[in-house]
Amino acid sequence: MSIHAVLTNVDADLDEAVERLFDLIRIPSVSTVPAHQDDCRRAAEWSCGQLRALGFTASVRDTPGHPMVVGHYVPAALAPSIPHVLFYGHYDVQPADPLERWDSAPFEPVRRRDSDGLERLYGRGMSDDKGQVMTFLEACRAYLRVHGALPLKITVLLEGEEESGSQNLAPFLKDNRDELAADVALICDTDMWDARTPAITMSLRGLIHEAITVSGPTKDLHSGVFGGPAVNPIRVLAKVLAGLHDDDGRVTLPRFYDDVPEPSAELRRKWAALDFSTEAFLGGVGLTTPAGEKDYSALEQMWCRPTAEFNGIFGGNTTPAERSVLAATATAKLTFRLVGQQDPEKIRASFRRYAASMMPPDCRVSFRGEGGSGAVAVDENNRFLTAVSTALQEEWAREPVLKGSGGAIPVVRYIKEILGINSIMPGFALEDDAIHAPNEKYNLDSFHRGIRSWVRVLDKISREVS
């Protein structure tokens, strides 16, 4: 039987698939609220039951926080060269507040045809990430109905703390490294380029949080009495921060760009050809001009260039009232977004050396911050990437956009560092899905064609990757 029989089964079973998704949405598995601890376990057990119904050997695994769900499927006729994929998703969701801004109850899912004629599914977790998880499980269900077996060795890992920091994920991966070993990880927690164009996220920037405090006098001073002879920590801190960038937007720290790769000419060409309006992107927040590195487009600045940004600065008089003081201390909070092979600790040390070298007499500097994450990128020549990309193109009749992400998804880094495997990140969410906000939704077409896409992905990997 061909793959088309499986796709036909997906189409015929869509209404039932929506109802199964709604059953999961009705469980308020809010991981950040202690009162929902039992609900998180219910969502884990429900998910485990779904995997068992599909023929997976599955169990709910306790952690010091919310449980993990792990399921394994091994085809009866296991060829030596058959690939093994690890699918990751999360069953926990964000709080639904503010409730008064929802048009329907967040945990009473609704299927509705809106004024534009499109059907949408509404409820907390519909897009992030329950709907995305269910696209994969429903693809497995359809494949099993038609063929009686899945074409790959599959491990499913569902987390219950993604929305609350994933504090137990890394230890769980370390403790179960051998059990979770696979050839590649498939992660469905990202979005499409637009409603008609699929996308695969190829890179995630790394992240460092850092705080710097400049201390001078032993207390705040009267600016009339001491202004002039007394050192001003705010002025010193401002000079440190201002010196971090040159006039072309480049970070001035020594050797900052040593491990930053240039995007390939082909990738830059593809990005330049995308239907992306810098004016519209910045105009939506009241801006007009890209402020990053000169000679890089706004997309390139977001997707493949590192940054040093100031998240907050304070000291002295921070109240609306007039208070003429010289501050005893001044503090700034920064984030560095990293790309390529930039090492978080090397960048942190370079910044601290630079700031310390800028201190005049009578000023002391201290820092707060530790850890950080490096960037993660997928090789454009990855054999699994080629298979996934081809499968998406066959479903959507458009070449998927190979895009970057300015943010970070911790699990991708953990999977790479702990399990030693790369992640392929196709997703079927849309920019307007209102994740983490009231009236979160998932387009019915996103859910439907997401299922069809995973059917094609499983089939394509089984046939073309060995």
**Is the same domain home to 90 and 199?**
yes
- Greater confidence (370 vs 357) lies with 357
Among 368, 384, 411, the domain-final residue is 368
- Indicate whether 16 and 74 sit together in one domain: yes
How far is CA 212 from its chain centroid?
Answer: 27
Buried b (16+ CB within 10 A) or exposed e, 155-174: bbbbbbbbbbebebbeebbe
How many domains does the chain fold into?
2
- The torsion defined by the Cα of 379, 451, 71 and 55, in degrees rounded to 10, comes to -130
pLDDT in tens, 168-226: 999 999 999 999 999 999 999 999 999 999 999 998 999 999 999 999 999 999 999 99
Domain-ending residue, one of 342, 368, 394: 368
pLDDT at 12 over 70: yes
- Tell whether 78 is covered by a domain: yes
Q: Return the CATH number at 213.
A: 3.30.70.360
Q: Which pLDDT value is given to residue 1? A: 52
Q: How much is the mean pLDDT over the chain?
A: 95
Residues 77 and 27 in one domain: yes
State the CATH number of the domain containing residue 440: 3.40.630.10
- Within this chain, do residues 256 and 312 fall inside the same structural domain, yes or no? yes
- pLDDT at residue 409, as a whole number: 81
pLDDT digits (tens, 9 = 90+) for 32-42: 999 999 999 99
- The reply to whether 149 and 198 lie within a common domain is yes
* Residue-level pLDDT at 207: 92
- Distance CA(257)–CA(241), nearest Å, equals 18
Name which of 209, 293, 213, 290 is nearest 251 in CA terms: 293
Q: Are residues 198 and 336 in the same domain?
A: no
Name the β-bridge partners of 30.
Answer: 93
Together in a domain, 320 and 438: no
Instruction: Round to the nearest angstrom and report the end-to-end CA distance of the chain.
Output: 21
User: Residue holding tokens 């299927």?
Assistant: 111
Four-residue CA torsion sign, 335, 337, 341, 342: negative
Q: Tokens in use for 116?
A: 């534009």
Token digits of residue 262: 């240039």
> 408 and 338 share a domain?
no
| 236 closest CA partner among 220, 216, 266 | 216
Other Cβ atoms within 10 Å of 11 Cβ, number: 11
Domain limits at 320? Answer: 206-260+306-368
Residue 227 lies in a domain: yes
What six digits make up the tokens of 334? 């920064």
Work out the pLDDT band at 251, boundaries 50, 70, 90. very high
Domain end call among 368, 384, 419? 368
* Residue 46 maps to a domain: yes
Per-residue pLDDT at 380: 82
pLDDT grade for 406, boundaries at 50, 70 and 90: confident
pLDDT at residue 407 greater than cutoff 90: no
329 shares a domain with 237? yes
Same-domain pairing of 241 and 310 = yes
Could you tell me the CA-to-CA distances from 442 to 95, 106, 126, 232, 448 in Å, in that order?
17, 13, 6, 53, 10
pLDDT at 441: 98
